[in-house]
Amino acid sequence: MPMPVWPSGTGFGGPEMVLIADTIHYSCHIHANDPGKPWLLMLHGFMGSKRSFSHLTESLQSFCNPVTLDLAGHGKTLAAADPSLYSAGRQTRQVLSVIDRLAPDPLYLYGYSMGGRLAFHLLAANSALFHGALIESAHCGMLSEEDRSIRRETDILRAAAIRENYPAFVESWVKMPMFGGSASSAAFSQRELMLNQRPECMAASLLGFGAGTMPPVCGRLAELRLPIRLLAGEQDKPYAERMDSIRRLNPRFILEVIKGASHRIHHDDAEAVVHAIRRLITETEESRVPQKS
């Protein structure tokens, strides 16, 4: 029997709704519903929410139907602070359940950072659901068990810091070099968004779906037969290198390095991200149209 779905209000461009999967109440916003346009599911990063993409959705509606989703424990999505709920396997099944009930077709996928890691898992689990994907500043998992062990220890310490003093953790997080140390209004708005999260859920997310806990899916990406665009920021050199290694996994993967951008490209250069999504969708849809003889 399908899980319950009910409206939770309206927002700019379309309705919001709640869909329950694996006890988690997922908050979803359908920004447009044009039957003549493809769909785009957008997955945010750690301590973000569907509001992270509020400055993109209006432009995206000119060529697709954007759907934003608060991931487990983030934003308006209600979830217990149980790390096992946030594991890669369970989150993948949860989001696939949401997609199954929304039934968007054709569907494209966009994921940023943590949302990009989850996007890689969705693609590995059921690539047939998607016609293409754009992944921003993410990796497909750590292959070395030693590296994963070190990262797990780091995330345990970070989770403890979150529980002890969440505002101080947010301040230290936004000052990490990969974000470019920006003092812009966009950076300020992201800080405010992070501060509005539930600390116990952010700690559970780190412990359940941190980079050291998440199983790598790099090998499975080599088998994909759909177009994947990768975006990395020029100033975020570690991730630019990681994404270049992902590019080499599959000849269908294309990497674009955005000049002047750091880790959060969709804020550093929103126009470049919208342009990349538009190019992915329009080129793929044009290739699907039967050619006249």
- The predicted-structure confidence for 189-239, as pLDDT tens digits, reads as follows 788 999 999 999 999 999 999 999 999 999 999 999 999 999 999 999 999
167 inside domain:
no
3-state secondary structure of 182: coil
67 lies in some domain: yes
Range 286-292 average pLDDT: 68
Task: Please state, in angstroms and rounded to a whole number, the distance separating the CA atoms of residues 60 and 155.
Answer: 34
Query: Letter for the amino acid at 211?
Result: A
Residue 219 within a domain: yes
- Give the pair of three-digit tokens for residue 201: 């859920």
pTM value > 0.85:
yes
**Residue 217 CA: distances (Å) to CA of 88, 156, 211:** 10, 23, 12
Confidence band, pLDDT 50/70/90 cuts, at residue 182 = low
Beta bridge partners of 67: 30, 41
Instruction: Report how far residue 71's alpha carbon sits from residue 180's, in angstroms, rounded to the nearest whole number.
Output: 25
Q: Write phi, then psi, for 118 (nearest 5 degrees).
A: -65, -35
Which H/E stretch holds residue 93?
A: helix 88-102
- Per the structure, the complete domain to which residue 35 belongs is given by 5-143+215-288
CB proximity list for 176: less than 8 A, separation 6 or greater: none
CATH of the domain at 272: 3.40.50.1820
What's the half-sphere exposure (Cβ side, CA atoms, 13 Å) at 98?
A: 32
Whether residue 230 lies inside any domain: the answer is yes
Return the structure tokens found at 19: 């869909």
pLDDT of residue 190: 83
Give me the mean pLDDT over the 151-163 stretch: 97
Q: 81: part of which helix (H) or strand (E)? A: none
Backbone torsions φ then ψ of 110, nearest 5 degrees:
-130, 125
Q: Are 42 and 36 in contact (CB under 8 A)?
A: no
The domain tally of the chain equals 1
Residue 15 has pLDDT above 90, yes or no: no
What is the structure's pLDDT at 287? 87
**CB distance 132 to 106 below 8 Å:** no
Instruction: Specify if 32 maps to a domain.
Output: yes
In a domain, 44, yes or no: yes
Helices (H), 128-236: 145-164, 166-174, 185-195, 199-209, 218-221
Whether 187 is in a domain gets the answer no
Token pair 């177009």 in the structure block, residue:
227
- The lowest-confidence range among 12-21, 86-95, 170-179 is 12-21
The closest of 41, 37, 46 to 29, measured between CA atoms, is 41
The answer to whether residue 115 sits within a structural domain is: yes
